[in-house]
Amino acid sequence: MSSESLIEQSQNIDLLRFATAGSVDDGKSTLIGRLLYDSKSIFEDQLNTIKTFSRTHRNQEIDYSLVTDGLKSEREQGITIDVAYRFFSTPKRRFIIADTPGHEQYTRNMATGASNASLALILIDARNGVVTQTKRHSFISSLLGIRNFVIAVNKMDLVDYSQEVFENIVNEFNAFADKLADESVYYIPISALEGDNVIERSENMPWYKGSTLLDYLENVNVSGGRNMNDLRFPVQYVNWGGGDDFRGYCGTIASGVVHKGDKIRVLPSGKTSKVSRIVTYDGDLDYAFAPMAVTLCLEDDIDISRGDMIAKADDIPAIAGSFEANIVWMDNTPMEIGKDYLIKHTTSVVKGNFEEVIHEFDPDDISMKSSQSLGLNSIGKAKVELKSPVFADLYSENRATGSFIVIDPHTNQTAAAGMVTKYKQVSPDKGCKSVKVRVISYPADKKEEAMAKYDRLSMHGTHCIYVDDDLLKETLRKGKSVDSDEYSEMIENLCKIVTRSGVSVVVCSDNFKS
Amino acid sequence: MKTTEESYHLSNLKTLEAESIGIIREVAAEFENPVMLYSVGKDSSVMTHLAIKAFYPKKVPFPLLHIDTGYKFPEMYEFRDEYTKKNGLDLRVLRNEEALKRGVNPLSVGTVKCCADLKTKALLDSLKEGGYDAAFGGARRDEEKSRAKERIYSFRDKHGQWNPKNQKPELWNLFNSKIDQGESIRVFPLSNWTELDIWTYIYHENIDIVPLYFAKERPVIEKNGQLIPVYTDEYEDEVKDVMCRFRTLGCHYCTGAVRSEADTLEKIIEEMMVARHSERITRVIDHDQDSSMEQKKREGYF
């Protein structure tokens, strides 16, 4: 093949992101090390470092697990403590592996790895069978919406490559998987250490007729995951200013498809317009789809700021004022009922609190138990009250608009991940009123700062006007005094009128009292 | 409205591009005073290209910051000035003048001290001085083992330091941008790109890069198996002309060249596809001590 067609091919191959999970010591790092090594994704100098360390610290020729255990503290302890991202490619596909830790205390990292994956590779030690960690990780992966599972039954070399052992594990896991959502599960007996059924078909297990692991990963169809039906375009950044009249709304299409000329509706205002342009650096497009990052221009000049949602006029998300959601708690500090947290959902951040925990899951058998609160690494369903509404769909229908993170405003920690299972709508006009309107005042001698503030607010898409004494002298107060109680009252009234229309005011005057 | 010819398939490179643009815009929207670290290398060329795309047709709304050790290749300075001017980018250059006056260089104080003064200190000082609350960097997770675990939003405390044990979980594309006064984040929009992705993207997008990446006969000395280019008369070793190119660009003292005939992008990509050495092998500073990059990052280095 010529180098040009090789380059062409490398451009067009697709990308599969998968997460790996399993419990401590079931050989996950070794398996990934093997995949990287056999697909020639480890470079010679990296390999030399690993070989030297293997010989001096592990007393073996090469310890594949060292490929992924990157941090010094991990190499010393011999365990993986954080998600590591690994890359390899074959002529068919490019892969990103989120290699997640096995220890229970790092469940949150498992959720992190699974949130962007479309397939979960779960390892089971053939000697131990299905254990609590297997169930916990499968449950989290399923909860996060992964529908493709590969169960690699590892260390088959240590159970004499026994078909019976393999089949018992298949039956055991199948019984558990019945309780999860609709998954496709594929089972492969392997030995990561010896290389059986990883890339090369094993001669030790002639009874196994299925695919090898790499073969399966290269060919599995993982079309599911992204919703291509409902257009959701969370406005991320309003691009305007700088002297021309261009005004575009930048964002990543969260789901669905948008065409030039589509009739759209903007939330929370509920106003409709048409898409006049789909702008990209490479030229305007006739249509764009998730997950492309584009800039939309509309035919009508309507008020739109960051956090607003653009959808098709006749297919909008819920304007949710509260919801029920599956929550993975990730902070050392447990959930506090009634406390104000920050909820980041698409491009908007709102205040919200937990009203109650409906139930907590026992990942062992996915049974539910009652609970007052959720602590580190626990998973449950809870009711969330929002101070201002968000534009949401159910997580099962739309990952991008059904997911949120919870931030503790005191520590700034990401305390939890949430997936919407049910919502309560608020009426659209309540949605509109939630737009925060402010009057920001500066003393008269801080004119430069005031104007900078106005510029920044406008750049971020906040609708506001700027007023100072000089401007008023030229217009409303032409020929009148600007140093009286009556003048102060006039400014106050001006602010009242403007804010009532949903527009903020930056005032730079010593005569503005409140 | 859907026609039968429409395809909703996004290739690997287009997926990566969209993800990076999303990250760059999110930071511009959520932070008061972001800055993009610009190192003049190929990853910087790609990162700035993505920033230009993100805000097209408007200008990139934040400045670029080049931490200049004073020992970069002359070709890099020339490229930097031309590239930023051509693309309308607001470039700011900072050096640790005090250390340079003291005569700090890798031959006089060793590579560890030299990096600490001219890179890490210069970087931390200039971030603090500029009051930047977010700084983009072009690092990739496939580059080096401690980077494989770096988040896209990487939190730094008041002293600019990284604590790998205290990383926030990062789910979906929902980034936690909450920081306290004086704290900052480093942002890595190229996290999920590999070296090969960078090269194929440069090829497809026709992105300008420093000519040092292309093979040419250059005067070098051989030192510990590395080909070090000669831009100073301080070396006593024998200088010879070798057909070579650079896979990464740093300071001329510490950047080794590799023997190569690849004088076009096609040839470089072909070479990449059969490469058996990671690009950082030509960085003298990575081999300073075991886990040397992790150590530098903890102290505040990018």
Please report whether residue A492 resides in a domain: yes
Q: Which residue of B has its CA nearest to A10?
A: B200
ipTM: 0.88
What Cα–Cα distance (Å) separates residue B234 from each residue in B47, B230, B253? 35, 9, 10
> Which of A31-35, A478-482, B63-67, B219-223: highest mean pLDDT?
B63-67
Co-location of A199 and A254 in the same domain: no
Question: What digits encode the pLDDT tens for the residues A196-215?
Answer: 999 889 999 999 999 999 99
DSSP string, chain B: ---TT------HHHHHHHHHHHHHHHHHHH-SSEEEE--SSHHHHHHHHHHHHHHTTSPPSS-EEEE--S-B-HHHHHHHHHHHHHTT--EEEE--HHHHHTT--HHHH-HHHHHIIIIIIHHHHHHHHHT-SEEE----TTSSGGGGG--SEEEE-TTS---GGGPPP-BTTB------TT-EEEE-TTTT--HHHHHHHHHHHT----GGGS-EEEEEEEETTEEEE--SS---SPPEEEEEE-SS--BTTTB-BEE----SHHHHHHHHHT--S-GGGGBGGGGSSTTHHHHHHHHT--
Residues A330 and A414 both lie in one domain? yes
| A7, A257, A306: residue with CB nearest B266 | A7
Q: Report the chain A residue with the minimal C-alpha distance to residue B297.
A: A71
Substitution target from A141, A236, A342 for chain B, most B beta carbons within 10 A:
A236
Do residues B222 and B280 lie in contact, with contact meaning Cβ atoms separated by under 8 Å? no
A-chain residues near B180 (CB < 8 A)? 412
Tell me: the pLDDT tens digits for B28-48?
999 999 999 999 999 999 999
Chain A CB contacts of B56 under 8 Å are 279-281, 295
Distance (Å, whole) CA A75 – CA B109: 31
Contacts of B16 in chain A (CB under 8 A): 15
3-state DSSP call for residue A464?
Answer: strand
pLDDT, one tens digit per residue, over A398-454 is 999 999 999 999 999 999 999 999 988 875 544 444 446 788 888 888 888 888 888
Let me know: does A85 contact A96? Beta carbons within 8 Å. Answer: yes
CA distance B44 to chain A (A): 18
Q: What is the pLDDT of residues A55-68, one digit of tens each?
A: 777 777 667 766 66
CATH number at residue A251: 2.40.30.10
Determine, for residues B194 and A87 on separate chains, whether the beta-carbon distance falls below 8 Å. yes
Q: How does pLDDT run across B107-159, given as a tens digit for each residue?
A: 888 888 888 888 888 888 888 889 999 999 999 988 766 677 778 998 888 77
Same domain for A211 and A342?
A: no
Is A513 part of a structural domain of the chain?
Answer: no
Mean pLDDT for B223-237 is 80
pLDDT band at A485 (very low <50, low <70, confident <90, very high): confident
Q: Which chain A residue's Cα is nearest to B5? A: A287
- The more confident residue out of A239 and A52 is A239
Between chain A and chain B, the number of residue pairs with CB atoms below 8 A apart is 194
Of A71, A86, A407, the CB nearest to B178: A407
Q: Is A16 helix (H, G, I), strand (E, B) or coil?
A: strand
Shortest CA distance to A20 belongs to which of A108, A135, A150, A131?
A: A150
Q: Which residues contact B17 (CB under 8 A, 6 or more apart)?
A: A293, B50, B53, B201
Which chain B residue shows the shortest CA-CA distance from A91?
A: B273
Look at residue A43 in the predicted model and tell me its pLDDT: 62
Burial class (CB in 10 A: 0-12, 13-18, 19+), A412: middle
Domain stop point among A431, A448, A471: A431
Question: Does residue A304 sit in the same domain as residue A324?
Answer: no
Q: Residue B12: what residue type?
A: N
Residue A391 CA, distance from chain mean position: 16
Q: What pLDDT, on a 0 to 100 scale, did the predictor assign at position A437?
A: 72
Most confident of A224-228, B124-128, B191-195: B191-195
pLDDT > 70: percent of chain A: 86
Kindly state whether residues A39 and A153 are assigned to the same domain: yes
Is residue A224 pLDDT above 60, yes or no? no
Q: Is A3 in contact with B266 (Cβ distance < 8 A)?
A: yes
A64-78, A175-189, A218-232, B178-192: which has the highest mean pLDDT? B178-192
Nearest CA to CA, how far is A68 from chain B (Å)?
8
| Any domain includes A249 | yes
Sequence spans of domains, chain B: 12-197+290-299, 211-286
> Do A190 and A294 belong to one domain?
no
- In this complex, which of B18, B191, B281 lies closest to A252 when CB atoms are compared? B18
Chain B residues in contact with A68 by the CB 8 A cut-off are 148
Question: Which residues lie closer than 8 Å to A218 by C-beta, 6 or more apart?
Answer: A90, A92, A93
CB contact under 8 A, A279 and B56: yes
Question: If you classify domain B12-197+290-299 with CATH, what class do you get?
Answer: alpha beta
Same domain, yes or no: A90 and A165: yes
* Cβ-based contacts of B52 with chain A (< 8 Å): 281
Residue A261 and residue B15: Cβ atoms within 8 Å? Answer: no
| A412 neighbourhood in chain B, CB within 8 Å | 176, 178-180
Residue B142 to residue A251, Cβ atoms within 8 A: no
Q: Is residue A51 part of a domain?
A: yes
A136: helix, strand or coil = helix
Judge if A25 and A169 occupy the same domain. Answer: yes
Nearest CA in chain A to B290: A72
Are both A369 and A409 inside the same structural domain?
yes
Q: Is the overall model pTM greater than 0.90, yes or no?
A: no
> What domain count does chain A have?
4
Nearest in space to A467 (alpha carbons), one of A493, A441, A489 = A441
A10, A85, A404 ranked by CB distance to B196: nearest: A10
Closest Cβ opposite residue B25 in set A250, A262, A414: A250
Using an 8 Å CB-CB cutoff, list chain B residues near A84. Answer: 148-149
- How much is the pLDDT for B5? 64
**Residue contact A45–B290, C-beta within 8 A:** no
User: How confident is the model at residue B273, as a pLDDT?
Assistant: 73
Please state the rounded mean pLDDT for residues A170-184: 86
Considering chain A, what is the average pLDDT of its residues?
Answer: 85
- Residue pair B139/B302 in contact by the 8 Å Cβ criterion: yes
Q: Which residues of A touch B55 (CB under 8 A)?
A: 239, 250
User: Does residue A514 lie within any of the structural domains?
Assistant: no
Residue of higher predicted confidence among A310 and A35 = A310
Chain B interface mutation, best of A53, A57, A85, highest count of B Cβ atoms under 10 Å = A85
Domain that holds residue A68: 3-224
DSSP state at residue A445 = G
Torsion of CA A389, A391, A394, A399, to 10 degrees: -130
